[in-house]
């Protein structure tokens, strides 16, 4: 590996978002998971959590449709909601969930930077 490539990799690692992750719950279409993986890789998220309570675990995520994003992400898989949430709460300060309801708070109204 050239010194220039090594420096670029170290810089990319230093810019990762260590305080942000994504939990995907029961996403049936693996191409949608791959799209999220590409986005996470692009913005520097280092790990994602995949929760499957009704479709079972997958052996491989995104090998064909995520570009090479799967190589740079740590993918955690769970079949139990409580276990997944507990692991995420141990690693991250806040946990947000989406809910499609008329009285839901818009994602644009949330301050993700405050502690």
Output the pTM of the full model: 0.77
Q: If you search the block for the tokens 């999220």, which residue do you land on?
A: 36
- Which of the listed ranges 7-16, 47-56, 85-94, 105-114 does the model predict with the highest average pLDDT? 85-94
Question: Helix/strand/coil (H, E, C) string of 51-103?
Answer: ECCCCCCCCCCCCCCCCCHHHHCEEEEECCHHHHHHHHHHHCCCCCCCCCCCC
Structurally, how many domains does the chain consist of?
Answer: 1
- Domain CATH code at residue 30: 3.40.1280.10
Q: With respect to residue 8, please indicate whether it lies within any of the assigned structural domains.
A: no
Q: What are the tens digits of pLDDT across the range 17-59?
A: 788 899 999 988 888 888 998 888 888 888 999 999 887 666 6
Q: With respect to residue 5, please indicate whether it lies within any of the assigned structural domains.
A: no
Q: How confident is the model at residue 14 (pLDDT cuts 50, 70, 90)?
A: confident
């Amino acid at each position: 590996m050239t010194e220039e490539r090594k420096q670029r990799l170290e810089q990319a690692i230093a810019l990762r978002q260590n305080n942000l992750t994504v939990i995907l719950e029961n996403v049936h279409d693996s191409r949608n998971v791959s799209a999220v993986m590409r986005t996470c890789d692009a913005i520097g998220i280092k790990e994602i959590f995949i929760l499957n309570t009704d479709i079972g675990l997958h052996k491989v995520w995104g090998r064909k449709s995520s570009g090479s994003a799967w190589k740079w992400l740590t993918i955690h898989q769970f079949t139990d909601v409580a276990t997944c949430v507990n692991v995420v709460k141990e690693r991250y300060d806040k946990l947000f969930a989406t809910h499609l309801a008329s009285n839901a708070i818009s994602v644009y109204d949330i301050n993700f930077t405050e502690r």
